[in-house]
Amino acid sequence: MRPFEQRAQTIIRRLPPHALAAEIGVLRGQVSECVLQNTDASLIMVDSWLPSDQQPERYKATKDQHAFDPAEIVSKHKREALARVHRFRGRAQIKEMSSVEAASQVEDCTLDLVFIDADHSYEGVREDIAAWFPKVKASGWIGGHDYQNPDARFCFGVDRAVDGWIEETGCTLETDLNFTWWARV
């Protein structure tokens, strides 16, 4: 399995039938496509698709390559994502906006699962967890990518943000394929 298929698998096996889920940070839509193809879930796909000159400094400080993508590459990613999920358009809802803005448009306690994979800075992940945790139903799942990723090229704040949130809430942390983290709400 390729890494994006592994990430998708961690989502797929946590979804109940007819689930409503959200992926925060979509990029090219590879994970979204895999989830939509292998489940009957509906998926809210959130990505701001902003070029590097509009990205916050805290995101660039993580050294994530996608914080440095120029406008033409970002447009290509967006076109690719839209094309990948076109055939599922009844079940895919695309929100081209910031994570926090998108969360404000979703009712509390309505999602079966949220997967956070956007701005990997400490502040970014904390903000995304704070914005999306209330959207998840009781016994739903919140999770994300790049927890305990040992790749020294990155300065991700994911571990600190997730560990802090786990300590505050007392939720139980699970790790899964390809550096994903998960907690049942």
Residue nearest ligand SAM by beta-carbon distance: 25
Q: Out of 10, 34, 49, 156, name the contact with ligand SAM by CB under 6 A.
A: 49
Task: State in angstroms the smallest separation of the CB of 97 from ligand SAM.
Answer: 7
Q: How many CA atoms lie within 13 A of 85 on its CB side?
A: 27
Q: Out of 20, 34, 46, 125, name the contact with ligand SAM by CB under 6 A.
A: 46
Closest to ligand SAM by CB, 138 or 152: 152
* Apex 139 CA angle, 142 and 12, nearest 5: 55
Asked whether position 179 contacts ligand SAM by CB under 6 A, the answer is no
Asked whether position 114 contacts ligand SAM by CB under 6 A, the answer is no
- Count the residues of the shown chain that bind ligand SAM, applying the rule CB under 6 A: 19
Asked whether position 125 contacts ligand SAM by CB under 6 A, the answer is no
Asked whether position 135 contacts ligand SAM by CB under 6 A, the answer is no
Pair 163, 131: CB distance under 8 Å: no
Asked whether position 33 contacts ligand SAM by CB under 6 A, the answer is no
Q: Out of 12, 21, 27, 106, name the contact with ligand SAM by CB under 6 A.
A: 27
Pair 143, 115: CB distance under 8 Å: yes
Asked whether position 4 contacts ligand SAM by CB under 6 A, the answer is yes
